[in-house]
Each structure stands twice: as structure tokens, then as C-alpha cells.
Amino acid sequence: MQGNIGWQTKTALKDPSVPERYRNPAEWPEPARDAWADDEGEAAAERHREAVVEELRKARVALDEFHPDLVVVWGDDQYENFKEDVIPAFSVLAYEEFQAHPWQHRSGPNVWNEPADRVLSIKGHRDAGKYLTTRLLEEGFDVAYAYKPLHRDLGHAFLNSVLLLDWDRTGWSYPLLAFAVNCYGRKVVAQRATSVPLSLLPDEEELDPPSPPPWRCFDLGAATARIFAASPWRVALLASSSWSHAFLTPKTYLMFPDVESDRQYFEAMKVGDYALWRQTTTEEIEERGQQEMLNWFCLVGAMAELDRRPHYCAFVESWLCNSDKVFAAFPAC
């Protein structure tokens, strides 16, 4: 979490390709107008940050109370480790350890005022990675695996899991098993999985092949839960991502995330209506800007397999901070 977290809306306002009515805050949906207020969303952004930090601290308490042998993180690789040379649908990063450089690829200061050359050593879990990959392949899931990085030591989805869950810098000792999901699919190379102005969005012929469909992520998560339930390790399963993103939502002209749809999925998860999740199509998540939620489809599939409902969950809504954030903790086996 760096700098102004309301950057996406302010960037879109300057884009002449955005229709005039969307560049006029008076025409926005009421929650967006209220957040914009008379300070261009500055106070709303700070409230959003404070709410997210509060939930991160709760999530860390839940993790520490569970005290796992390792943490499996489903995360998206945004043109970081995987580029034109290979884009796997799923890849288990079975590294012995990660030598991460949190601020090497990020501009500007960070909220912890950590130096740009900081190196963060994180333990991996090669044995668990090999075990999981073997069992998934035996069940018919064609997952890739790796013992060392290609282009980036650790993608930000995985690195952020450690940085943000260690918000108070008390330390992180849990071995990490990163499980990369190609969430960005048709935009992973064509758009380099990042924000571009509306006028520069890639044409249909420029787009890449799609991501794995939501139901496949759901089923892979279910298989992962079965596999680790029979393992010798106490495993925490974590989905690392925000939900819909403004810069991925063409129907809002990249101004706002799809808050209403996110709410629908949150309420379904809250009560254990997992059928709604598995019935989702790739076209639907692309239209709603929910690509990164494929990580959560893996997690929800795992919870469906284990017949778990969240004993705690929170929806941190934001119309102006690019994405909604969701937190959930499920009872241990």
C-alpha cells in the first residue's frame, strides 16, 4: 500500500476517451459521489486504508492462532515471473526459499519507509510443493511447477501476502508455497496485466488466450484441500487478491469496480452458496473486472470441499480506490 490509493479514478478523469458524463462527479452513482465529496476522495481513501489495515491485523491474528506448518497462497502473476516465454494456467512454485526485493520494482515511498534495496528472505517448502504437484497431476490437473524463478524472485501477489499480513513488522516465520494462477488471461501479455487508458485497451485480435475458467479454479481448489487434508502438514490456504478492479471493468469506463457484483459473491460466500461461484463463466468475470477473483475461486472451492463456512468475513467497499477488498477466515479442520 503506497501513495494515493485513489489513483485510478483520478487517472480516468483525465482520459478524454471517457464519456463526459463519467468525468462529471455529479453524474456518478451516489456512493461514488459521497466518497468524492469536496476533497476529491482523499478522506474516503484514508478511511479505506484504515479499514483494510484493521482487517489485515485480524487476519494475522487468525493465522497465528492456527499456527500452520506452511501457508499456501493462490496469487496472480501480473507479467512478473511469467512472460512471453511461458504463461502456465497454474504453477506451483516449489522453491526452497524466496529472496524477495519488495521495493525494487515499485516507485515512490512505502508506508513503512523501508529502503529501496531491502531484501526479504522467506522460507519456501519444496517438499510440500512436490507433494501437491504430484497429487494434482494424478488427479488430472495439468499444473506446472518450478524450483527457481524466471524473471522475478516473487510476484507481488505473494510478496504482498507477507508484507501486508506482517503490517506491524512483528516478523514472518511461516514457510510459503506460492501457487500461481493465470488470472489475467487475455490481458496478461497484451496489456501486461496492468492499467492502460481506455483508448489504449488492446483490440480483440491482440488479446491472449483466456485464463483457466472459474469452475476449473474451483475444482483445483477442492482437490488441493483434499490433498493437504491427507498430508502430514498443518496447512493454511490463502487467496491473495482484491476483487473487481476499476481498471479491468470496461462497462464502467475503468472508473469504478463492479461493487454490486462483488457484494453478490460476498453474500453467497458468507452463507455457503458455493454453487453460484462454480457456475460463473470466464466471460462474466472479464465483463465485471473480477479476473483476480480466480484466486478466490480456488479458495472457495477448497472450502466447499471441506464443507466450511466462514466464521468471520468482511467486505471493505470502495468506489474510488480501484478495488473492493474482502477478508474471510474459515474454521480449521
Domain containing residue 249: 7-329
Is residue 202 a part of any domain in this protein? yes
What's residue 4's pLDDT?
54
Is residue 166 a part of any domain in this protein? yes
Are 227 and 305 in contact by the 8 Å Cβ rule? The answer is: no
What's residue 333's pLDDT?
66
Q: What's the pTM value of the predicted model, to 2 decimals? A: 0.96
Q: What angle do CA 55, 58, 63 make, to 5 degrees?
A: 125
Provide the 10 A C-beta neighbour count for residue 111: 12
Residue where the block lists cell 510476484: 155
Is residue 37 a part of any domain in this protein? yes
Q: Coil, strand, or helix at residue 64?
A: helix
Tell me which DSSP letter residue 312 carries. E
What's residue 12's pLDDT?
87
Q: For residues 251 and 115, give the distance between their C-alpha atoms in angstroms, rounded to a whole number.
A: 39
What's residue 165's pLDDT?
98
Is residue 261 a part of any domain in this protein? yes
What's residue 8's pLDDT?
80
What's residue 153's pLDDT?
87
Q: For residues 44 and 321, give the distance between their C-alpha atoms in angstroms, rounded to a whole number.
A: 9
Look at the chain and report how many structural domains it folds into. Answer: 1
* Per-residue tens of pLDDT for the chain, all 333 residues: 444 567 788 888 889 999 988 889 999 999 999 999 999 999 999 999 999 999 999 999 999 999 999 999 999 999 999 999 999 999 999 999 999 999 988 878 899 999 999 999 999 999 999 999 999 999 999 999 999 999 988 999 999 999 999 999 999 999 999 999 999 999 999 999 999 998 889 999 999 999 999 999 999 999 999 999 999 999 999 999 999 999 999 999 999 999 999 999 999 999 999 999 999 999 999 999 999 999 999 999 999 999 999 999 999 999 999 999 999 999 986
Residue 125, all three cell numbers: 517448502
Is residue 1 a part of any domain in this protein? no
Residue 255's nearest CA partner among 244, 264, 265 is: 244
Residue where the block lists cell 484504515: 50
Is residue 223 a part of any domain in this protein? yes
* Residue 23 phi, psi dihedral angles, 5° rounding: -90, 5
Write down how long the chain is. Answer: 333
Which one-letter amino acid corresponds to residue 65?
E
Is residue 2 a part of any domain in this protein? no
Q: For residues 158 and 177, give the distance between their C-alpha atoms in angstroms, rounded to a whole number.
A: 9
Angle at which helix 214-229 crosses helix 126-138, to 10 degrees, equals 120
Residue 30 is part of a domain; what is its CATH number? 3.40.830.10
Are 326 and 296 in contact by the 8 Å Cβ rule? The answer is: yes
